[in-house]
Amino acid sequence: MIEERVLAERLISYDTSRRDELAAAAGFVKGWLESRDIEVREHDHNGLPVLVADVGPAAGDAPCVVLHGHLDVVPGRPEQFAPRIEGDRLIGRGAYDMKGGLAAMMCALKDVAGQERIRVRFVCVPDEESEELDERSTDDVVKRGLGGDFAITGEPTDLHIGVEAKGVLVMQIDVHGRAAHSSTPWLGDNAVLKAIDVFRAIESLPFSRESSEMFDRPSINLGRIEGGEALNQVPERCRMAVDVRYLPGQDPGEILAQVRAIADIDVTRTFIHPPVTVARTNVYVRALCDAVARSLPDREVMSVGRDGASDAASFIEAGIPAVEFGPAGAGHHGPEEWVSLTSLARYRRALGDFVRALPIWLERSAADARGVLGGLRAVEGGHQQK
């Protein structure tokens, strides 16, 4: 527990909502790995560092597992970057999302460096929390051919395995009103007040009442609103950003159509990030479940749905099965964010156990497949049966 705790504390101390601190933190991660004889390659993405490190057998026929994490955090108060410990809780900005998990991943990478059957690729990106939604470094990593056969992104999941995550539909919406003097507001049409009504209308659209096996509803948030030119004028325009986390199976185009049908608005910009869905029967998922269950024999660890989205979608889009799996804690993006120190140790151990046991799972899966294809025998009448 000590190594991952100390490493997590050091990572939290960097205010990685800032570009200069992101570069410094990436330099620390690179130096820590290289001091343990793990070669690190650094790529530039929009002026920010992306780190990639491989351990295990050289590239070839060996299965490749990606351990993916991010260094960046949402902004916080200065005191949130001074980590503190209260009992089992490590408190600080990014402790849960996801510097604690990143620290444990780094330790797990070191733990499995000596095995020779599974290639493990560590990918550390700087922009998972970025509002620049159109250009993600994880997309670039995958395009460079630095994916694998299976990916684990260390988003916080309380040591459950997230096989489904909602998609993202971000809309920039302009609401139109009519200007007037503030002394006679009844002569105008206040666009800021109308924007609130528009948001309430979005919350009541048909798509918002749908559900799925793992989710009881989509998530809808008004993240930003701005309008008005002068204190003594009724605003004639208001711009807002609405973040919809839609369900697997929902069509973002249909959601957009429902929103655009609202009067007096224009949807001027959108960003769509697809949902994540991975079969629970996937051999990598089953192997990970088994490894986690061995670390946590007294609790259910099977797959869950995640309300938030992550870079796992970048792997899914490229045809690489990916799950979210991270340590326990609470309060991400909030004032008292924390991660469980006990869970960091269990997380590290589960990742190592997963990699070491994976060859047995893959061999068993291949044998099962051969049994399905080759286990037929002839019977009278020319038919075949198992």
Taking only the tens of pLDDT, the chain with its 386 residues reads 579 999 999 999 999 999 999 999 999 999 999 999 999 999 999 999 999 999 999 867 899 999 999 999 999 999 999 999 999 999 999 999 999 999 999 999 999 999 999 999 999 999 988 766 567 899 899 999 989 999 999 999 999 998 888 888 999 999 999 999 999 999 999 999 999 999 999 999 999 999 988 888 999 999 999 999 999 999 999 999 999 999 988 999 999 999 999 999 999 988 888 887 888 899 999 999 999 988 776 666 655 555 666 788 889 888 999 999 999 999 888 889 999 999 999 999 999 999 999 999 999 988 877 665 444 333 333 333 33
Strands, E, within 2-97: which ranges? 40-45, 48-55, 64-70, 84-86, 89-91
Question: According to the model, what pLDDT value does residue 240 have?
Answer: 96
Q: In what order do the strands lie in the sheet with 265-273?
A: 219-227, 237-246, 167-176, 265-273
Give the model's pLDDT for residue 83: 97
> Chain-centre distance of CA 181, in angstroms?
47
Please name the residue that has the structure tokens 């019977």. Answer: 379
Q: Which residues make up the CATH 3.40.630.10 domain(s) of the chain?
A: 2-165+276-367
Question: How far from chain centre, in Å, is Cα 370?
Answer: 35
Where in the chain is CATH 3.30.70.360?
167-273
Query: 235 with 179: CB under 8 angstroms?
Result: yes
The whole-number pLDDT of residue 379 equals 35
pLDDT of residue 386: 33
> What dotted CATH number matches 167-273?
3.30.70.360
The CATH fold of domain 2-165+276-367: Aminopeptidase (3.40.630)
- pLDDT, position 132: 63
Helix axes 2-12, 19-34, angle to 10 degrees: 150
pLDDT of residue 382: 36
Of 157, 162, 72, residue with least CA distance to 330? 157
pLDDT score of 299: 64
